[in-house]
Amino acid sequence: MQESDISAEFFKTVSATPLAAAIHGQCFKPGWSESDFISAFGVPGTVLEVLSLADQPVAIALYRQIIDEAEILTLGTLPAYREKGLAGQLLEKGFHYLRQNKATFLYLEVGAENIPAQRLYTSKGFIESGRRPNYYNHDAGYEDALMMKRSL
């Protein structure tokens, strides 16, 4: 995998929501539907990042920025493309975009049992800033959310 084969595109409108829903559905069970993404775009400051490898979309992140504070709403890499550094690239390119857009802080919430995602975020400079007990309600039970943040 060559770095020059990796590119990111940023969408401030709903144009890429079918693609986002298709990727999200392979990353989460259940994934967000296209109308979930369209609803997210109903809130100002929402932006979708699509990362492609050799022009093939492989990972997405959805951000929301209010003044200088941004949040990651959701993020995922297609299962066949994981552990190749692609989510790391997605975040690096996202940081660059958000900095250019004058964001100074980036926040997120991650499942306390989601070790791959926590490794990703820690390796990209996020630190834990709090915990919301029983925040996620899965079929199998409740899971705490870890709150994480980093400066941009």
Ligand X SMILES: CC(C)(COP(=O)(O)OP(=O)(O)OC[C@H]1O[C@@H](n2cnc3c(N)ncnc32)[C@H](O)[C@@H]1OP(=O)(O)O)[C@@H](O)C(=O)NCCC(=O)NCCS
Interface with ligand X, residue 117, by CB under 6 A? yes
Q: Does 145 bind ligand X (CB under 6 A)?
A: no
Instruction: Report, in angstroms and rounded to the nearest whole number, the Rg of the chain calculated over CA atoms.
Output: 15
In the list 14, 23, 40, 86, the residue contacting ligand X (rule: CB under 6 A) is 86
Shortest Å, Cβ 131 to ligand X:
14
Helix (H, G, I), strand (E, B) or coil at 85: coil
Does 84 bind ligand X (CB under 6 A)? Our answer is yes
| Residue 48 binds ligand X (CB under 6 A) | no
Name 62's bridge partners. Answer: 48, 74
Taking the C-alpha atoms of residue 98 and residue 104, their distance in angstroms, rounded to an integer, is 8
Two structure tokens written together for 66: 């209010």
In the bound complex, what is the minimum distance in angstroms from residue 130's beta carbon to ligand X? Answer: 15
- Binding part of the chain for ligand X, among 29-37, 97-105, 119-127, 140-148 by CB under 6 A, reads 119-127
Contact 86, 53 (CB under 8 A): yes
| The binder of ligand X chosen from 25, 31, 57, 88 (CB under 6 A) | 88
> Which residues face 75 on adjacent strands?
61
Is 62 in contact with 74 (CB distance < 8 Å)? Answer: yes
- Supply φ then ψ for residue 97, to 5 degrees: -60, -45
Determine if 52 is a binding residue for ligand X (CB under 6 A): no
Residue 25 binds ligand X (CB under 6 A): no
Q: Which residues bind ligand X (CB under 6 A)?
A: 27-28, 75-77, 82-88, 110, 114-117, 119-120, 123
